[in-house]
A and B are shown apart, each in its own frame.
Chain A
Amino acid sequence: MEQFNGKSIYNGIAIGRILFYSKNQQQVKRNKVEDVEEEIARFESAKAKAMEQLQELYAKAVEEVGESNAMIFEVHSMMLEDEDYNESIYNIIRNEEVNAEFAVATTGDNFSTMFAEMEDEYFKARAADVKDISERVIAVLTGLEGEAGLGDEPVIVVAEDLAPSETVQMDKSKLLAFVTRLGSSNSHTAILARTMNIPALIGVEISEAWDGKMAIVDGKQGVLFVDPDVATLETYMEKRKREDAQRELLLQLKGQPDVTKDGRHIHLYANIGSVADVANVHANDAAGIGLFRSEFLYLEKDHYPTEEEQFQVYKTVVQNMPGKKVIIRTLDIGADKQVDYFEMEQEENPAMGYRAIRICLDRVEVFKTQLRALYRASAYGMISIMFPMVISVSEVRRIKEICEEVKRELSDSDIPYGDVELGIMIETPAAVMISDLLAKEVDFFSIGTNDLTQYTLAIDRQNPKLDNIYDAHHPAMLRMIQMVIDNGHKENCWVGICGELGADTTLTERFVRMGIDELSVAPSMVLPLRNIIVNMSVD
């Protein structure tokens, strides 16, 4: 067994034989021609044929991957009609009295080199598009065109690089995964792989000798196994089986609204811990982000993250969630998470110590930096802000004062911000008991069941000796949740759950009947919950 690392484009697992794919090697030869005008006519007719193919590809891609991803073929048509590109081909044919193939190949090389030398990643990646259109015309000229044949059995396609048109042309039912040496995660082929849900790795040192060998692509870890041993193969077969079940569910449920049979709409959102997770939110079709843990911004740095650093992250996330709600939780850190620059003292009992909003209200400048970044990002999408570990009304009032200060400062500097919903985590028994009062202060509640269970049952979840008395479904918990929902609704405050209990499929129906408005769960749990919601009735 050999193991190779690459960059993952799509998180999936594929097991199968490798097909080493090499383009119909278009060895373009330079030939002298007698009649240059006839050669130009040959080029024109090949171009017309290529335009036709591109229109067909566009139609095929619209059907398979949607209009926005199909646009690349429209762009290819436009490029093929570009004046300078055509001019260059005519000139080479006329001045050098050479064949059209050679003129197209030379022009294609020149133009793609120009793009490849540009600084910006987006423009750099266009080099592949120029190559793709040039190769298309050459294939028509030489009569070597044809579908990328994959054979009868589904295969893992290994190639130096793949053009978007090659990706779309391949028969999806015969395609298990892509592995390429070149390519970028911004390339169209990468985008197509993602939308087609095909596991893909790039940046792998490929070898032609792999052709026909058994292999495993693990898109989660970014690993390719060639000639896997039996144990590895078995592990991955099991993993893939679970994935297939999930994908099956996805196909049936994707695009469906989260509405019960009798019409109750539940907001089914996803929990994320970093920007990279957003792809998973989309892959699992969540209607929004119900908990974006902002801690990672602090944990991965050796200094307080600046306003600008945070703003860029929040902005990226909301821009990737157009028209969808993104609920960001402010810093939730305590002595149990070691961040040196916070200079926190060791505590006997960090769960009940100096943490989360308690730090923020004590170190107001740290808090304001985060709030400014959040409000600035709110100009780019639907941001809601959520505050952790609240125990009193006075804390919430102080938070709101600080938010007002931040908004005032932004307005004074003419910095735009949008409407922002403010909510709190309900994760202390105190907050539950005064939820009627808290509901008057905020727009929403999100119940953090992990901490709430620990504080309510007085059970430390890290202590294995207590496992036998730990009951996640304890009646005290369910009563508290009901109380929070009822108190929230009296004041038009919507109520959700973002803790682990929200993803407990044995409780989903019960929560819906209790009146919960939102459930925010790990991305992989969105579809299993949707499955329950769309098949149940409230009454």
Chain B
Amino acid sequence: MRQFNYVITDEIGIHARPAGLLAKEAKAFASKITIEANGKSAEVTKLMAVMQLGVKKGAEVVITAEGKDEDAAIAKMEAFMKENL
């Protein structure tokens, strides 16, 4: 299992479009990727569930990947978050 923490800098928070793109990225991996925020968690592949977390600017999220390609998955997630969120 691999994980990293990230503080959201996007003004609106994790909004629809980046959440959708993130889901797409996550689907390319075999690992199960989850995001945890505000004491709740959701699978990153599920756009609406991720939006339901209501993650706003300044919130800390924890991304976890578990599976055979977890290293690559976590690297991709981290790069995406840094660039888009």
Contact = CB atoms under 8 A, between A and B. Distances in A.
Interface of A: 71, 74-75, 78-79, 81-85, 111, 114-115, 118-120, 122-123, 126, 129-130, 319
Contacts, number: 49
A319 B10 CA distance: 12
Contacts of B49: 84
Contacts of B12: 122
B20 A74 contact: yes
Given A75-B20, A78-B23, 7 more contacts: A74-B17, A78-B17, A84-B46, A118-B54, A120-B13, A122-B13, A122-B15
Nearest to A130: B48
Contacts of B13: 120, 122
Contacts of A115: 51-52
Q: Does more than half of chain B's interface fall in helix, strand or loop, or is it mixed?
A: helix
B46 A129 contact: no
Contacts of A118: 52, 54
Interface centre among A78, A81, A118, A120 (most CB of B within 10 A): A78
Contacts of A129: 16
B52 A75 contact: no
A224 B57 CA distance: 38
Interface of B: 11-13, 15-17, 20-21, 23-24, 43, 45-49, 51-52, 54, 56
Q: Which 10 A-B pairs have the closest CB atoms?
A: A78-B20, A75-B16, A82-B48, A82-B47, A83-B46, A123-B54, A122-B12, A118-B54, A84-B46, A75-B17
Given A85-B48, A111-B48, A120 B16 contact: no
A119 to B, nearest CB: 7
Contacts of A126: 16, 51
A497 to B, nearest CB: 34
B51 A78 contact: no
A221 B56 CA distance: 34
Contact of B20 (A79, A84, A120, A122): A79
A130 B51 CA distance: 12
A343 B72 CA distance: 65
B56 A79 contact: no
Given A75-B16, A78-B20, A129-B16, A123 B51 contact: yes
A84 B51 CA distance: 12
A126 B48 CA distance: 10
A160 to B, nearest CB: 24
A120 B54 contact: yes
B48 to A, nearest CB: 5
A114 B52 contact: yes
Contact of B16 (A79, A81, A84): A79
B1 to A, nearest CB: 22
Nearest to A111: B48
Q: Does more than half of chain A's interface fall in helix, strand or loop, or is it mixed?
A: helix
A378 B45 CA distance: 38
Contact of A79 (B15, B43, B48, B54): B48
A188 to B, nearest CB: 10
Contact of B47 (A71, A79, A319): A79
A371 to B, nearest CB: 25
Nearest to B48: A82
A124 B51 CA distance: 10
A122 B51 CA distance: 10
Nearest to B49: A84
Interface centre among B17, B20, B48 (most CB of A within 10 A): B48
22 contacts: A74-B17, A75-B17, A78-B16, A78-B21, A78-B24, A78-B47, A79-B16, A81-B47, A82-B46, A82-B47, A83-B43, A83-B46, A84-B46, A85-B48, A118-B52, A118-B54, A119-B54, A120-B56, A122-B12, A122-B15, A123-B54, A126-B51
Contacts of B46: 82-84
B38 to A, nearest CB: 11
A130 B47 CA distance: 12
Contacts of B43: 83
A83 B20 contact: no
Nearest to A186: B12
B54 A84 contact: no
Contacts of A114: 52
B29 to A, nearest CB: 15
Contacts of B54: 118-120, 123
A292 to B, nearest CB: 21
A123 B13 CA distance: 10
Contacts of A85: 48
A327 to B, nearest CB: 23
A71 B15 contact: no
A74 B15 CA distance: 13
Interface centre among A111, A122, A129 (most CB of B within 10 A): A122
Nearest to A83: B46
A114 B40 CA distance: 15
A83 B46 CA distance: 6
A79 B47 CA distance: 7
A111 B45 CA distance: 17
A122 B52 CA distance: 11
B52 to A, nearest CB: 6
A319 B11 contact: yes
B45 A83 contact: yes
A266 to B, nearest CB: 32
A152 B27 CA distance: 47
Contacts of A79: 16, 20, 47-48
Interface centre among A74, A79, A123, A130 (most CB of B within 10 A): A123
